[in-house]
Amino acid sequence: MIETIRGAAPAYDIDAWRRRIPILASLIPMNNCSQAPQTTATREAAELYLESWNGDGMDWDAWVGEAQLAKQEFARLINASPEEIAIVSCVSEAVSAIASAIDFASGRDRVVVTEAEFPTIGHVWLAQEKRGARVSWVPVRDGQIDVADYDAAIDDRTAIVSATHGYFLNGFMQDVPAIAARAHARGAKLFIDAYQTAGTTPIDVRAMDVDFLASGNLKFLMGVPGVAFLYVRRAIIDSLSPTVTGWFGRENPFAFEVKRLDWSPTASRFDTGTPPIINAYIARAGMRIINDVGPRAIRAWLEVLGQRLIDGGEARGLTVHGTRDMSHKTSTTGFVVDDSHAIEVAMRERGIIASARGPVIRLAPHFYSTIEDVDTALDALADTIRDL
């Protein structure tokens, strides 16, 4: 079995990609669930903007165009059309904008949120209680969510279901089409937070039947903080007027008409102010890597690495948080530890970048990671726990 895994290889030229990630010469990044490493392509993209700014002084046509191209790259990643994509600064902003477009006095005042959401998502929805929303929670048990628990939570007063695709703590992955079927059967909309899955697995918004989906860029999409993308299903765009808005949400932002509030016919109505331009340059380059390598091939390799993490962790006496079933997991595995922050610091001294979150230390390989990287990280984690 181990021999088979050792002999396994991804369906792409992993060595060629590794040569474009300079940090691999000195460290093993296992923190892709928090921040992916810099690549030569993302660095060059940042430099392109800096050169334009320095050389041209200003080039708004090209810069705003770059934000548009970044939307296109995200659309390609999730099988959407570019007109269904908005660019924002972070996922919190995307969810706030969605919430601002919901009229909680219309007979649907309930928001169903899972306990597996990244805290910011819960915070945005709880803040809507001031506007008449009532939040109810789908429970996490043993680090997982049972899709049947949505049945009790969703009713005919539910306006929207807000569910994460991947659980940030341990990589548990939800069955999105099953949640969509439950939400839509009761007339509710569905928002999916794909921040922990985009870049690790194929995402098809049409096949998944979601109404909204958002992701930031700095994790498995190989980018940076300060930029995120929001998908809004074409059929519902016209019915939404977010009060979290700004001049880039207008039909023609460059009309400069202060007294006229019209709405872009596309998902750009969810854009707000001046787009995050340098971030958009980097984001496009990062997403292009993922699209070029291919989410399907990436998923296949991450299943190998993820299984290696789980089996190897247990063989070293480590405790896996949540499910061990790779068909319901991203590549992220959380190992239960006493002092995750101290372990993160100690592991870095051993050349491994891990990611602490409360009760767990997360190891999250990506498409460029090798089986040797996973084994070395597990050895370092087991040694660190023993030595602390």
Ligand X SMILES: Cc1ncc(COP(=O)(O)O)c(C=O)c1O
Among all chains, which residue has been given the structure tokens 């910011």? 120
Rounded Cα–Cα distance for residues 176 and 161 (Å)? 11
CA distance readout (Å), 107 to 2, 156, 229, 232, 383: 57, 9, 29, 22, 57
**Phi and psi for 198 in degrees, rounded to 5?**
-60, 125
Gap between the Cα atoms of 103 and 126, Å rounded: 15
Cβ 195 to ligand X shortest distance, Å: 4
**Min CB(368)–ligand X separation in Å:** 20
**Closest separation between CB of residue 213 and ligand X, Å?**
12
Rule CB under 6 A: choose which of 32, 128, 162, 164 binds ligand X: 164
Side-chain half-sphere of 284: how many Cα atoms within 13 Å?
A: 22
**Based on CB atoms, which residue is closest to ligand X, 227 or 374?**
227
Q: Rounded to whole angstroms, how far apart are CA atoms 68 and 283? A: 11
Write out the binding residues for ligand X, residues 27-86 only, by CB under 6 A: none
**β-strands 212-216, 158-164: how paired?**
unpaired
Find tokens 């202060």 and name the residue: 258
Exactly one of 90, 101, 208, 378 binds ligand X (CB under 6 A); that residue is 90
Sole binder of ligand X in the list 171, 216, 276, 286 (CB under 6 A):
216
Of 76-84, 89-97, 155-163, 241-249, which segment contacts ligand X by CB under 6 A? 89-97
Q: Which two tokens stand for residue 48?
A: 């392109």
Interface with ligand X includes 270 (CB under 6 A)? Answer: no
Nearer to ligand X, 17 or 195 (CB): 195
Q: Does 195 bind ligand X (CB under 6 A)?
A: yes
Which residue number, 145 or 371, has a Cβ lying nearer to ligand X? 145
- Provide the 8-state DSSP code for 142: T
* Interface with ligand X, residue 92, by CB under 6 A: yes
Q: Say if residues 203 and 78 touch (Cβ distance below 8 Å).
A: yes
Binder among 91, 179, 190, 213 for ligand X (CB under 6 A): 91
The 93-122 site mask, x for binding ligand X (CB under 6 A), equals: -------------------------x-x--
Considering the complex, state which of residue 158 and residue 197 has its C-beta at the smaller distance from ligand X: 197
DSSP string, 53-64: HHHHS--HHHHH
State the residues that interact with ligand X by CB under 6 A. Answer: 90-92, 118, 120, 164, 168, 193, 195-196, 216, 228
